[in-house]
């Protein structure tokens, strides 16, 4: 019985820590993500017009790496913590 309570307590603590990290994770705005997806779609469409297969593959890889770099830059530009408090207790 005691061992079960210890395990449940440890799981509850781990759950709260994971939830705290998930809240603090910076995210890009939806509009930016839509723009990045459209840019990648246009890039891949331009790659389809290439004649040989190796250059098409390299072009698509470049499109994917550009998308990843754009998303990373966007996430780094976003603040880590939300500007507003989720609770009314901490109103400025």
Q: What's 10-58 look like in SS3?
A: HHHHHHHHHHHHHHHCCCCCHHHHHHHHHHHHHHHHHHHCCCCHHHHHH
Q: Kindly state whether residue 1 falls inside one of the protein's structural domains.
A: no
Sign of torsion, CA 26 32 34 35? negative
Averaged pLDDT for residues 64-84: 79
**Domains: count for the chain:** 1
Q: Kindly state whether residue 15 falls inside one of the protein's structural domains.
A: no
- Quickly state the pLDDT bin for 65 (edges 50, 70, 90): very high
Q: Would you say 30 and 71 are in contact if contact means Cβ atoms under 8 Å apart?
A: no
For residue 57, the enclosing domain spans 23-78
Q: Kindly state whether residue 8 falls inside one of the protein's structural domains.
A: no
CB neighbours of residue 63 within 10 Å: 19
- Residue 86, pLDDT score: 54
Three-state SS for 62? Answer: helix
Query: Higher-confidence residue: 67 or 19?
Result: 67
Q: Kindly state whether residue 85 falls inside one of the protein's structural domains.
A: no
Q: Kindly state whether residue 44 falls inside one of the protein's structural domains.
A: yes
Q: Kindly state whether residue 5 falls inside one of the protein's structural domains.
A: no
pLDDT in tens, 3-54: 776 777 777 777 665 555 555 677 888 888 899 999 999 999 999 998 899 9
- Quickly state the pLDDT bin for 78 (edges 50, 70, 90): confident
- Residue 55, pLDDT score: 93
């Amino acid at each position: 019985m005691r061992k079960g309570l210890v395990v449940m307590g440890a799981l509850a603590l781990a759950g709260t820590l994971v939830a705290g990290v998930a809240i603090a994770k910076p995210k890009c705005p939806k509009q930016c993500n839509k723009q990045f997806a459209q840019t990648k779609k246009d890039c891949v469409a331009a790659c389809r017009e290439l004649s040989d297969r190796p250059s098409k593959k390299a072009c698509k890889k470049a499109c994917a790496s550009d998308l990843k770099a754009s998303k990373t830059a966007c996430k780094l530009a976003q603040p880590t913590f939300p500007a507003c408090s989720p609770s009314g207790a901490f109103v400025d």
